[in-house]
Amino acid sequence: MKAIVPGPTYAEMLNPRDPAPHAAGEMDPANLFRITWRGPDRQVRHVALPKELTGTEANIIVLAGRCFPSGSHKVGPAYATLLEGELAGEIEPGVHRVIGPSTGNFGIGVAYIALLKGYAATVIMPDGMSKERYQRIRQYGGELDLTPGTESDVILVLERTEHYKKDPHSKVLAQFELLPNYRFHRYVTGRSALEAAERHGNGRVAAFVSAPGSAGTLAAGDEIKARFPEAVICALEPTECPTLFNNGRGTHRIEGIGDKMVTLIHNVLTTDCVQLVHDDDCVMGLELIQRQPRLLERILGLAEGRLAGLQDLLGISGLCNILGAIRLARSLGLGPEDNVVTVATDGFDRYPSVLEDLVRRQGPLEEGTLTGWFESLFRDGKPPKILDVRPLDQKQRLFGYKKDVWAGFGYSAAYLERMQSQSFWDAEYERVEEIDRTLLRQRQAAR
């Protein structure tokens, strides 16, 4: 058997001994120990958006996912799922190929982690995603198995995945189904988000906003709610694909989110509300912040360079999260002491082709057009479309949707029933310590 390449525990991802270990290039396994929200200064990497931009008094705090190895925080769940499979003796280097069902970033993370840990990888994803995603996967040596469609056709990816589940030499890192994704985000992202908020306003979290794909990131909300039970946890969806909102389905342009289902690992008990955001608002918002910062600074009366901190930091779903966070803060009437935390899953490097496409669709972008976009995205006084999903009938609707999808993939009624209780999620979360102990023992034995 090939030796297992060691990586960090959950506790080390939250608090690495050295957040910037020496690595001889991107492909050095030492980078496994850089899977963390922290930068070299040990602080959780985040920005508090300028209030001139957001137009709200509340602090909008954005955690920066692009600084993770491979360029998005989705590498965290990819690593955690592979790690737990190795610890359970289900995945062995030299024996298994790892399979990453994805719409891109998780697949990039799987290809990258597989490379560092010595596995072959296949990423199953739709054929209509941004071309930068396929390039990255190939660059990391991953093979592609493409299914027809885009973000909203993830169900085809899941169906293709079933075929690999039957192959004894393949192991599927099933982000929509497996709980390491939940554990990574509740423990590592949730605690990092709480820590980032300590530096702003009253140090608490009034709301956490995330647009779910797998709904892994939303699990950070469970940790935030455990500390601040009054915090509002808001899931965002594209207006064009309002699945959690009203069982609606449609195609949309926000890559990584809005996958037309309630994922198995989504703890719907802690989701308080669902808000809709138009997909093109996010693409236009990215154009403004990434490519028109000087114009924005002029509109906002800011000194040149004030928005420089946002350069390259955001992708389309990041814009979705930001617009959702601003609108939620406004509708909750939050003030200068209140913190709304959200994430930017990846950065601009994955989207130049999407902005080129925007220009193709819209024609040359005149100053008047861009100013109009700014007004409608950031200063629109209309109430956002927010649905309260705390009432029992809403929870039952969401549980029902989940059952419809996942019973079809072989999950038992008893298991799906157990997921309707918070104790299921807390017990899964508590496994973090035992998993860490097992990994430390394995690392010790390998010395």
Ligand X SMILES: Cc1ncc(COP(=O)(O)O)c(C=O)c1O
List contacts with ligand X (CB under 6 A).
74, 103-106, 211-217, 255-257, 315, 317, 345-346
By beta-carbon proximity to ligand X, the closer residue of 126 and 201 is: 126
Least distance from ligand X to the Cβ atom of residue 254, Å: 8
By beta-carbon proximity to ligand X, the closer residue of 16 and 315 is: 315
By beta-carbon proximity to ligand X, the closer residue of 293 and 318 is: 318
Contact 205, 238 (CB under 8 A): no
Contact 64, 47 (CB under 8 A): yes
Least distance from ligand X to the Cβ atom of residue 267, Å: 12
User: DSSP for 14-53?
Assistant: HS-SSSS---SSTT-GGGGGG-SSB-TTSSBPEEEPPHHH
| Spatial separation of the C-alpha atoms in residues 258 and 268, rounded to whole Å | 15
Phi (first) and psi of residue 102, to 5 degrees: -165, 170
By beta-carbon proximity to ligand X, the closer residue of 257 and 432 is: 257
Contacts of 286 (CB under 8 A, 6+ apart): 314, 315, 316, 318, 319, 348, 351, 354, 355
| CB burial readout 373-409, b (16+ within 10 A) else e | bbeebbeeeeebebeebeeeebeebbbebbbebbeeb
| Spatial separation of the C-alpha atoms in residues 279 and 288, rounded to whole Å | 15
Least distance from ligand X to the Cβ atom of residue 416, Å: 20
Q: What is the DSSP letter of 93?
A: T
Alpha-carbon distances, residue 80 vs 108, 202, 265, 296, 401 (angstroms): 14, 33, 14, 39, 27
By beta-carbon proximity to ligand X, the closer residue of 56 and 72 is: 72
Least distance from ligand X to the Cβ atom of residue 94, Å: 28
Q: What is the arrangement of strands in the sheet containing 46-48, beginning at the earlier edge strand?
A: 46-48, 59-64, 339-344, 207-210, 232-238, 273-277, 386-388
CA dihedral 69, 71, 76, 79 (to 10 degrees): -60
By beta-carbon proximity to ligand X, the closer residue of 6 and 256 is: 256
Least distance from ligand X to the Cβ atom of residue 261, Å: 12
By beta-carbon proximity to ligand X, the closer residue of 218 and 299 is: 218
| Spatial separation of the C-alpha atoms in residues 439 and 447, rounded to whole Å | 13
Least distance from ligand X to the Cβ atom of residue 299, Å: 27
Residue, CB closest to ligand X: 256
Least distance from ligand X to the Cβ atom of residue 379, Å: 25
By beta-carbon proximity to ligand X, the closer residue of 274 and 365 is: 274
Least distance from ligand X to the Cβ atom of residue 52, Å: 26
